[in-house]
Amino acid sequence: MWAAGDAVEGQAYFYYIGDEAFDVNGDELTFSKLAGIPWMTVTANGWLTGTPGAGDVGTDSASMHVEDPFGLFVDSTMSHEVITDAGNTAPTFSGGPFNLPDADEGVLYGDTIAGTASDAEDAITYAIISGPAWLIMAPDGSVSGVPGPSDVGPNVWTVAAMASNNGGATDTVNITVNGNGWTVLTDDDFEVDFGNWQSGGANAVLTGQNAIGTQNVKLNDGLGDASSIELTNSEDTTPYSQVRVDFTYIADGMDPGENFLLQYSPDGGTSWITLKSFVSGVDFNDMVREYESLIWDNTQITFTNDMKFRFENDANGGNDKTFIDNIVVYAAGVGDPYVAWENLHSLTGGDSGRASDPDGDGFDNEHEYFFGMDPNSNVNANQPTGSSVDDAGTLYPAVTYAYSNEGSVSYTIETSDDLATWTARNVSPLPAADELFIVAGPVDVGRVSTITLRYNTGYSGLPNSKIFFRIVASE
């Protein structure tokens, strides 16, 4: 038998029992009432509500049920008393619903509803009864939190003002969350499961302890992989120039100097590089919630099509815990198309770099990239070639080549009679002097297009009946 706080006859009652039950695994608990105290309602997240009437005054009891997600439960008897308090009035809100200023996705928000409720006799505290989990309310009515991608748009909460005698009132808080324009790669609140992440072992589990909402990830001690979570699937970050990782955490028992790591892998989890070490006493203090938003660009780390992130508790004492929630991986900007091309062809280590020639065909990677050739094969499709084309009975010199569709590479076609003096030529489908004419293409064949151009003068009009073509590419 245990007792919930007293209710006052004729006053709406608000009492939280979510901390009356404890699950050793930290699992989310669901509360319900099996029988007893007819006027009282129990919410799944542990609020007792209702308004007792004159006939409810006195002691009573209810049979209570609490259950974890695996169906394990305990039933117990809760004693309860409704008292009369003549002349005492319930708190009231004034001015609601409360439309607080807009919030921005991924940015720490803060405001307050302190002072919006009053009570003639008793001290007041505030609490959120229901609504989006990202917003946390302190007993003084101040609110804080970071809205994620799924919170963009209107957000509505039911809030209570509670007097010290458990009498209360409810009202509504509205906040509109504005999106931030970043592309969301992954977004996980861990309410149901690990989502896009996977546990590395026994010391990385889901728990309700210190969670935003009902669950988060607990990383315990430093058992290496077993104390880590990583993205299950790789992300392709090559189309972008920036990545960003947002998350919130609370450390519990992390002694000064102990740390956890945020790492990334450019190769799907084979190798890991530490992006930041979060150190107790430097970056955080025990049991103080922190919100992080960290951005890297493609000059700082290598963007690949096989990119992963990992969180790992690196502490070495006993029972050092880091609780991580609301992990969002974002991307933005336009990536370096050459890096994307290297990734496409799996050019790593000594095979990478514009000056390398891993297939030994005499074309360095930059040439192969500019002209749509294969850096891993010395049989080069798309290699520029010269030819002759017959146009209305006149035979012209022509050149066929491939050019990048990415728009970042510019090409100039030059001609020469003697390989000494070169003249840049305009490319045009219109007949005009001193130009090259398109006779085939462009044909889009993937990341490049192929095209065939003829010179403006036939062989019979050329010095020595020949001309040289040169294609100058730059980025």
**CB neighbours (10 Å) of residue 422?**
16
Binding of Ca ion by 12 (CB under 5 A): no
Binding of Ca ion by 121 (CB under 5 A): yes
Residue for token digits 């190769």? 267
Tokens of 317: 């004492």
Tokens of 356: 């390398």
Provide, rounded to whole angstroms, the least separation between the CB of residue 169 and Ca ion.
Answer: 10
**Distance of CA 86 to CAs 9, 121, 180, 370, 433, Å?**
9, 12, 53, 87, 104
R_g over Cα of the chain: 34
DSSP 8-state symbol, 368: H
Cβ-Cβ contacts under 8 Å for 298 (sequence gap 6 or more): 237, 240, 241, 242, 335, 336, 339
**CB neighbours (10 Å) of residue 380?**
18
Provide, rounded to whole angstroms, the least separation between the CB of residue 459 and Ca ion.
Answer: 31
Characterize the bridge pairing of strands 448-454 and 394-404. Answer: antiparallel
Stretch 198-217 residues interacting with Ca ion (CB under 5 A)? 211-213, 216
With respect to Ca ion, which residue has the nearer C-beta, 182 or 363? Answer: 363
Interacting residue with Ca ion among 105, 189, 258, 342 (CB under 5 A)? 189
Binding of Ca ion by 325 (CB under 5 A): yes
Binding of Ca ion by 163 (CB under 5 A): yes
Amino acid at the residue 384 = P
* Number of chain positions touching Ca ion (CB under 5 A): 19
Binding of Ca ion by 122 (CB under 5 A): yes
Binding mask 226-265 for Ca ion (x = CB under 5 A): ----------------------------------------
- The Cβ-side half-sphere exposure at 285, using a 13 Å CA radius, reads 1
Residue for token digits 């947002």? 246
Q: Is 225 helix (H, G, I), strand (E, B) or coil?
A: helix
Nearest to Ca ion by Cβ — which residue? 213
With respect to Ca ion, which residue has the nearer C-beta, 221 or 325? Answer: 325
Binding of Ca ion by 342 (CB under 5 A): no
Binding of Ca ion by 190 (CB under 5 A): yes
Judged by CB under 5 A, the stretch of 106-114, 115-123, 153-161, 460-468 that binds Ca ion is: 115-123
Binding mask 30-69 for Ca ion (x = CB under 5 A): ----------------------------------------
Do the Cβ atoms of 416 and 472 come closer than 8 Å?
A: no
Provide, rounded to whole angstroms, the least separation between the CB of residue 384 and Ca ion.
Answer: 13
Binding mask 349-378 for Ca ion (x = CB under 5 A): --------x-x-x-x---------xx----
Q: Which residues bind Ca ion (CB under 5 A)?
A: 88, 119, 121-122, 163, 189-190, 211-213, 216, 325, 357, 359, 361, 363, 373-374, 380
